[in-house]
Structure 1
Amino acid sequence: MNNITVTVNATEYPPQSKHKVIFQTFKKLQPSEAMLLVNDHDPIPLRFQFESIHSGAFTWEYLEQGPDIFRVKISKL
């Protein structure tokens, strides 16, 4: 089932705003909804930040893993 309700293209934001926009978007999701994150590099640091702040409240699924574009489905549990 495709439950992606919003897409965040991180390449469209300045570096200092990316994580803020991503976390604000995640906060607005309802349980079982997901966001699609599009980025130009592997967002490993973001994943660690999600695990620190939202441990057990999300899933992280790579839909595309580079080398130029990374697409990650982040679902709210």
Structure 2
Amino acid sequence: MAETELDLRDVPPPQRHPKIHNAFESLDSGDVLTILNDHEPKPLFYEFRAEVETFDAEGYEVEQRDERTFVAKLPKQ
């Protein structure tokens, strides 16, 4: 299992989701995409659950490290 990390806190909002989707698509089965975000990525979770067949919604995790840092793990089946 490999883990890829994206720090999106300084990426303009319109560029975030395409960047996340591209990174996720490049993962192998069993890998995890970890994103660092400046807000809770709940809309992203719902988007992935509805649109990305290989997203393992059961394995999704998110934690808030401080006011400006949310860490979400998006596993690929």
For this structure pair, what is the TM-score category when the shorter chain's length is used for normalisation?
0.7 to 0.9
- Kindly state the Cα deviation for residue 65 of structure 1 after the two structures are TM-superposed: 2.1
What TM-score does the superposition give when structure 2 sets the normalisation length?
0.83
Gaps of 5+ in 2: none
What is the alpha-carbon distance in structure 1 between the residues aligned to residue 71 and residue 3 of structure 2? 14
Gaps of 5+ in 1: none
Q: 1:51 aligns with which of 45, 49, 52?
A: 49
- Kindly state the Cα deviation for residue 22 of structure 1 after the two structures are TM-superposed: 0.3
* Count of aligned pairs between the two proteins: 74
CA 1:34 to 1:26, structure 2 compared with 1: closer, same or farther past 3 Å? same
Percent identical: 26
- Kindly state the Cα deviation for residue 55 of structure 1 after the two structures are TM-superposed: 4.4
Matched, 1:73 2:66: no
Large movers: runs of 4+ above 3 Å: none
What TM-score does the superposition give when structure 1 sets the normalisation length?
0.83
